[in-house]
Amino acid sequence: MSKSIKRIAVFTSGGDAPGMNAAVRAVVRTAGYYDLHVYGIYEGYEGMIQGKIKRLDNSDVANIIHAGGTRLKTARSEEFRKPEGREMAYDTLMAHEIDACVAIGGNGTYTGAKIFTETYDIPFVGIPGTIDNDIYGTDYTIGFDTAINTAVEAIDKIRDTADSHNRLFFIEVMGRHAGYIALHTGIGTGAGFIFLPETDTDLEYFVKQLQRSTRRKKLFNMVVVAEGNKNGNAMDIAAYLEKNHNILSKVTIIGHLQRGGSPSAFDRVLASRLGYNAVKALLEGHTNVALGIENGKNKLTPFEEAISTQKELNQDLIKMSEILSL
């Protein structure tokens, strides 16, 4: 255990994700167990620059494990991208005698931490907090499970109307660059088709699948579309079908509904494990690494590797989703 670390700062950055509060809670309580002082940085890197820092103790994180969003708030920071901004952030940390930081967020958060630690000698460890589940080095990110459960619940409700009127529905879920939400939501709802950013689906092939299902008198009325799909968003695909094949459909965009809400039990446990492990990692002397859990075991991945390595979709899951939709 390193004796040089006495004060730890924790912050959330980038898009909010259900379970971030549970992670902050775990950091604060674990640090307290090891007799460390903990400081919360409000509004991410921007708050680090502006000095929005407050001492936290156990009472500050009571009754937040179930809360969605982030009590520490989050913000984008253009200033932190500049050397002058990072210097101001460093001065702020030094003024509060911060010895190490726990950064909770996604790839953008990790990139900021990596660049900062290359210049300043303050250990940083990262906790993966994003609903997209697109961070390399961990099977799941905080917020992903809650997001897909929210999407599944919404689609189950839409299905009632789709079945009642025998209508074709396109449901758009989040995922600009990664199709994890779309794939898991599509499987969980028994969708007839799933459009993913990672696959280049020919729309005429999709039309043939629709026609094939009609001939077999198979009810084909739910299609899940990731917002970053290469064929366009759900509105684009629906417009193509109407213009070229006179196929009418309805479109529902779930949008930011997926980010909110109370975290699932899975996300609460995951966030608690990662927050606990973050403090231990710092005390063991680790820095410039992202925490994760793979195959049930703790894992540390250098920021550089976590940022530069693309996390691939499970191809067997994709194949399974195709077979089960037949």
Strand order in the sheet with 250-253: 193-195, 222-226, 169-173, 250-253
Q: Where are the beta strands (DSSP E) in the chain?
A: 7-12, 37-41, 53-56, 100-105, 124-128, 169-173, 193-195, 222-226, 250-253, 289-294, 297-302
The one catalytic residue among 57, 60, 99, 132? 132
Could you identify the residue written with the tokens 């620059």? 49
Is 132 among the residues known to form the active site? yes
List the beta bridge partners of residue 301.
Answer: 290
Q: Is the dihedral of CA 222, 226, 229, 234 positive or negative?
A: positive
Find how far residue 203's CA is from the centre of its chain: 29
Could you identify the residue written with the tokens 């982030």? 70
Angle between helices 180-189 and 144-165 (to 10 degrees): 50
User: What Rg, from alpha-carbon coordinates, does the chain have?
Assistant: 22
Which amino acid makes up residue 105? Answer: G
Report the distance separating Cα 106 and Cα 138, nearest Å. 12
> What is the full DSSP assignment across 237-249?
HHHHHHHHH----
Q: Which residues are catalytic?
A: 132
